A and B are shown apart, each in its own frame.
Chain A
Amino acid sequence: MSDTHPRPAVAKPISRSTPRAAASTARMGTDARQMRWIKIVVFCAALYPFARLIVFGLTQQLGANPIEFITFSTGTWTLVMLCITLAITPVRKLTGVNQLLRLRRMLGLFAFFYGTLHFITYIWFDQWFDLHSIFHDVVRRPFITVGFGAFVLMAALAVTSPRAMVRKLGGKRWQLLHRAIYLIGILSILHFWWMKAGKHNLAQPKLYATIVAVLLAIRVVYAVAARFKRPA
């Protein structure tokens, strides 16, 4: 395409603009610099919700109940980051863009980042470090129980995310542990659903449940297809 258009001599040859081209394995080795830029852009984009909260906080745009706003916002973005992380593998398989895999850990850690903000907002601003009350909540209220469970699992995955931990655990065990993300996705949906069910306000939980269900279903389809292929 670009050959047909005269380009100024100073223009860098960054014509690998389509993801498919960028993904071709032949170029993988030479694309380290490009990958670094992609990572920086994704990192900044993933920080946007946090920056937005800070700006809203400084300019009084968090509404009448700022703590509730922060709780809902960080919870929603945890779920969004989880969905994006869960989407990496299906999108990679459907498009063949293998480089996406190199963004997965960062996106997963961002899910944990927003989950941590969500958790801190709860124990600090909502519960004011009242351990008795927090314990009571975690034990007695199913939506908090599953949310807490999802957070603990996410913490386990975050701690074992460095490459050194993969080596330490061994690839097989590491992979098994990190399949917990499927459970985290399901628990997060339950957490959101049960919280909203009290006021019968389920439009958003239904949307996220559909997204997670589709992302998990694609994996099942691939797994079943792989099993059928093997004997052939």
Chain B
Amino acid sequence: MATEKNRFLRGDDIPRSEITPRDVFENRRRLIQFAGAAGAGALFGNATQARAQSVSVSPDPKAQKLSARPNPAFRVPDTVTPYQDITTYNNYYEFGTDKSDPAHHAGTLQTRPWVVSVEGECQNPKNYAIDDLLKLVPLEERVYRMRCVEGWSMVIPWIGYPLAEIIKRAAPTASAKYVQFITLDDPKQMPGLSEPIINWPYSEGLRMDEAMNPLTLLTVGLYGQVLPNQNGAPVRVVVPWKYGFKSGKSIVKIRFVDKQPPTAWNTYAPQEYGFYSNVNPQVDHPRCSQATERRIGEGGYFTPKRPTLMFNGYGDQVASMYQGMDLRKFF
């Protein structure tokens, strides 16, 4: 037990290939904890074991591999969420409102050919074919926390490179204050667009310094593979200190603008979803407390939720950008 514990705590230098065994180990530990849980241990013990085994079956053998250098500087020590959970439980309203809908319906998304237009207030606007975008900068793997505004979270090994690489090449002008991200808007590929739930296309945005922050990742893969369609293929952004909906998926336009751009959920309900939407346990959502979160894949039925961290635990890297701002007002 002691040696296994040490292995768990070893920190940032664990190679990619170690992740899955660690999960299995974690699950085993959960099983032990679980067996102790009052009475119910006997009832649900077998099921937990079944889950522990199924974790190692992923990732998808049919998916295209993507080689990337693990970047230990951007790797949280938390246990990585099982591939199965990451790819079957998420919100992507373009494919339906249930969290199982994206996995069921995203098969219709055509990720080739795919062009990302970098445009707006910049000196070098450019259309990137997706395969050029993939080769622009060497890919790296980063393990980030992902916190959904609904109160659940995951730990995901993403593959990509800093969005700043694209921004630098575009050379934004002095009037570029914000970056807007626009998601594909094609009803033929995205059945959910027939419902006028939000103003399609899905639009998100960051302040320029947020977009340039080294944490902001232009993302093309996860778990050593190209992004599954349901997770925002072929290219998305990941902004780990903000609620998940800020991280736009299946992006076709990256636009430099001078004013705060309209963003999907903020436009729908400005009193509920702010433009910033930084993860903040002290500012409640009107419908739920944001003080705690359910970590997906962690433990059994009797595992309590865990406390949510300010800026999702990325305060050291991002808090300085918001100095002097009232985060209750700019939520």
Contacts and interface: CB of A to CB of B under 8 A. Distances in A.
B88 to A, nearest CB: 6
Interface string A188-230: 0000001100111101000000000000000000000000000
Contacts of A31: none
The A interface, classified by DSSP as helix, strand, loop or mixed, is helix
Given A59-B47, A128-B305, A198-B272, A64 B297 contact: yes
B47 A65 contact: no
Contact of A143 (B152, B272, B287, B305): B287
B200 interface: no
Interface stretch (B65-73, B163-171, B288-296): B288-296
B296 A65 contact: yes
Nearest to B198: A200
Given A58-B43, A59-B47, A68 B287 contact: no
Nearest to A70: B301
B2 interface: no
A177 to B, nearest CB: 32
A64 B296 contact: yes
A66 interface: yes
B291 A57 contact: no
A57 B289 contact: no
A125 interface: yes
Interface stretch (A8-16, A96-104, A133-141, A148-156): A133-141
Interface in B295-318: 296-297, 301-302, 304-305
B305 A63 contact: no
B44 A58 contact: yes
Contacts of A133: 289, 291
A60 B47 contact: yes
A198 B99 CA distance: 15
B160 to A, nearest CB: 23
B97 interface: yes
B327 interface: no
B174 interface: no
B305 A126 contact: yes
A195 B287 contact: yes
A67 B295 CA distance: 11
B304 A141 contact: no
A67 B198 CA distance: 27
A57 B301 CA distance: 9
A63 B289 contact: no
B50 A63 contact: no
B50 A201 contact: no
A60 B85 contact: no
B203 to A, nearest CB: 15
Interface of B: 43-44, 46-47, 50-51, 54, 84-85, 88-89, 91, 97, 99-100, 150, 152, 197-198, 268-269, 272, 284-289, 291, 294, 296-297, 301-302, 304-305
Interface of A: 57-60, 63-68, 125-126, 128, 133, 136-137, 140-141, 143, 194-195, 198-201, 203
23 contacts: A57-B47, A58-B43, A60-B50, A60-B51, A60-B54, A64-B99, A64-B296, A64-B297, A65-B89, A65-B294, A65-B296, A67-B294, A125-B302, A126-B305, A128-B305, A136-B289, A137-B289, A140-B284, A143-B287, A198-B269, A198-B287, A199-B97, A201-B197
Given A58-B43, A194-B287, 14 more contacts: A58-B47, A64-B85, A64-B89, A64-B99, A64-B297, A65-B294, A125-B302, A126-B305, A133-B289, A133-B291, A141-B286, A141-B288, A200-B197, A200-B269
